[in-house]
Amino acid sequence: MGWKAAEKLIRHWKILRGDNVMIIRGKDKGESGLIKRVIRSQNRVIVEGKNLVKKHIKQGEGHTGGIFSIEAPLHVSNVQVLDPVTGKPCKIGYKYLEDGTKVRFARGMNASGAVIPRPEILKERRKPRPTSPGPKDTPIELVLEKTYDDKAGIGMPDL
């Protein structure tokens, strides 16, 4: 897209992929949607179906050209997470429950203080783990081979 890298990167992100957010500034102000992608190097997010821009794509091998509508990134300061109880935009805080788990909660003037759950999409991996061993993987026979026995003193290095 040609965006510059952000001058001051956000260290602790409170907005996650899959969150339901409302756009608070820009041409789509007041509309809500799910976060499709988080671009941390630019402090930007892409909201599903919002901030559409026209992109001219030249025809090439395997695809046709034309003018397409794509989602452009929004700065993270222009979106706010929706409170799950009231449905209004709110800030996010962190607190620990009695059992010791760390949770996000809605905070601010119009916030209910309800717990904002982590999106389910974060549990899915973007790149699936390989199921077959690769050329650099250690064979399972060598992994399970016992090379040290502390009672017999076998495999002990000479110090």
Q: What pLDDT digit, counting tens, does each position of 21-46 carry?
A: 999 999 999 999 999 999 999 999 99
CATH for 88: 2.30.30.30
Region 151-155 average pLDDT: 76
Residue 117 placed within a domain:
yes
Residue numbers of the domain that contains 26: 19-56+63-122
Give 159's Cβ-side CA count (13 Å radius).
1
Query: What are 53's two structure tokens?
Result: 């821009």
CB neighbourhood size of 86 (10 A): 13
- 9 SS3 class: coil
Average pLDDT over residues 58-67: 92
Q: Among 33-37, 63-67, 135-139, 153-157, name the one with the lowest average pLDDT.
A: 153-157
- Write down the mean pLDDT value for the chain: 89
Does residue 114 fall inside a structural domain?
Answer: yes
* Between 146 and 97, the higher pLDDT residue: 97
> For residue 140, is it within any domain?
no
Confirm whether 145 is domain-assigned: no
| Banded model confidence at residue 98, pLDDT cuts 50, 70, 90 | very high
In a domain, 52, yes or no: yes
Residue 157 reports pLDDT greater than 70: no
* Residue 134 counted as domain residue: no
Say if 5 falls within a structural domain: no
DSSP state letter for 113: -
For residues 141 and 27, what is the distance between their CA atoms, to the nearest angstrom? Answer: 61
Q: Among 90-94, 143-147, 152-156, whose mean pLDDT is lowest?
A: 152-156
Residue 153 domain flag = no
Domain count, the chain: 1
Task: State the average pLDDT over residues 1-17.
Answer: 81
